[in-house]
Amino acid sequence: MNTLRQLEDLFFNTTCKALGLNPQDKLSENSVRFPWRNDPEWEHEDDVCFIAITNEDDRYNRQFEVKHTPISKEVADYTIENIRAIQIAWTLYGPNSFDRAHTLRNYIYMPDTQLLLKQSSMYMVTDIAAPIRFPEQFRDLWWDRSNLMANFYEKTQSTSTVPLIQGVDIKLYTEKGEVKSNI
């Protein structure tokens, strides 16, 4: 299972590549950002993209598969597998925000991008809605803004070692009293 930091790195790199930026270039961090970081402000004509990553409640993430795999006579691996649903929301600002949102959406469908996501156990839900243009007023100016959202599934697995039951005490009660038997 990917950590939040791993997901941030994955989608930062993917977003930079989609928008024609070099993920290793520090200047790319001014163009692709996470909303809660203390990044510098940007100008009205700058193209900036914010990425938000959230868990989503989904019918698939409520299903769990539980497996017991004996390791020895005393212990077993107890494994829980399920699907984690993750939503990535991109908020793009700037004069090219609408076109960049479309470029990003198309890039996600590309085979190389799908392969990269697969290597991180991330699988796109193929119903990505079209970007929404949503200009917003700030400091007496209208700022071009477009939003894009995509959902992904990630198979997760958690394993721990648990002791196996070695025996059970069974107590049988009769009308005349208690009889004890070990199995």
Place of tokens 């071009």: 144
pLDDT at position 6? 95
Distance in angstroms (rounded) separating the CA atoms of residues 142 and 155: 42
State which H helix or E strand residue 72 sits in: none
Domain count, the chain: 1
Quote the distance between the C-alpha of residue 176 and its chain's center: 63
pLDDT digits over 126-174, tens only?
Answer: 899 999 999 999 888 899 999 999 999 999 999 999 999 888 777 777 7
Contact, 144 vs 97, CB < 8 A?
Answer: yes
pLDDT at position 183? 44
**Mean pLDDT, range 6-19, rounded to an integer:** 96
**Mean pLDDT, range 46-53, rounded to an integer:** 95
Distance in angstroms (rounded) separating the CA atoms of residues 7 and 161: 28
**Number of other CB atoms surrounding residue 56 within 10 Å:** 15
Distance in angstroms (rounded) separating the CA atoms of residues 11 and 6: 9
What is the residue range of 98's domain?
4-182
pLDDT digits over 81-128, tens only?
Answer: 999 999 999 999 999 999 999 999 999 999 999 999 999 999 999 899
